[in-house]
Amino acid sequence: MNAPATTAQNLGTVTVQHSPDGHKATILIDRATKLNALTLQLLNELEAAVRDVDASTARLVLVRTAGEKVFCVGADINHFADLSAAGMWRDWIATGHRAFDALAGLRQPSIAVVDGLAFGGGLELALACDFRVIAREAKVALPETGLGTVPGWGGTERVTELAGRARAKELVLTRRQLTGDEAVAWGLATAAAPRSALEDAVAGLSGELLAGAPVAVQLGKQLIDAAADGAPSKVLEALAGGLAAATADLAEGVAAFRGKRTARFTDN
């Protein structure tokens, strides 16, 4: 099923594509003619796409954008420049947070495929995913202070969490642009590869994630996120472990271990 889309290419679309086996879902943001700049419409469509994925049997989510050498240049300035203070607070900021938080909160692990420039909201979009595989030729930045504003869709929180307070201040206050390799070194990306080998890197990480028991992988993601938010791991791990113990996947994993073979998990 596709998320709601418009027919006007300059307004862009967000669609969901499922692999033939149903194990992978790809959320594609396509506004290549405008460098995938984000609008309220696209943010709402992204939230709808996330709901589509959450309701599916997908075990892994890839977030991609259309075009070449540009992942996403961030918010469409023309769409927010004339907003009132109330409109910026009530509509623009809130909609972006809702969409990105929904993406971050997916039960399935997600990978942002950053094949080019990821500025402002584009970097915040990638940071809302669990993993980021980035082209070495790419550049990432949070340049909002040069425009007279600040990151508005979770960038300050997520960069601080991943890279630390000092690095976050450097990125936001100096508007420094990082290469793909620098993004990895700062902890903002999982892996970097030449653009020509980016898909191989994505396939490698995807294979590792899909090789785990699906329910256990999703429980593991939720446990880590809850722990980061201060939830007590002793209680949650007991509950999650009990749930995992009731799955056919655990029985299969134990049987495969004892039989010295590769487990064949079935999402149960």
CA-CA distance, 173 to 146, in Å (whole number)?
Answer: 9
13-18 sheet: strands from edge to edge: 13-18, 24-30, 60-65, 110-114, 131-135, 191-193
- The per-residue DSSP string of 16-56 comes to EEE-TTSSEEEEEEE-GGGTT-B-HHHHHHHHHHHHHHHTS
User: Is 144 designated active site?
Assistant: yes
Helix (H) / strand (E) element for 126: namely helix 121-127
Among 96, 108, 92, 87, residue whose Cα is nearest residue 25: 108
Q: What is the identity of the amino acid at 187?
A: G
Query: Pick from 113, 100, 44: which is nearest to 72 by CA?
Result: 113
Give the C-alpha separation, 236 to 192, whole Å. Answer: 33
- Strand-pair partners of 30: 13
Is residue 68 part of the annotated active site? The answer reads no
68, 144, 182, 237: the catalytic one is 144
Q: Say if residues 133 and 191 touch (Cβ distance below 8 Å).
A: yes
Distance separating alpha carbons of residues 72 and 113, to the nearest angstrom: 11
Which of 124, 157, 199, 208 is flagged as catalytic? 124
Active site residues: 124, 144
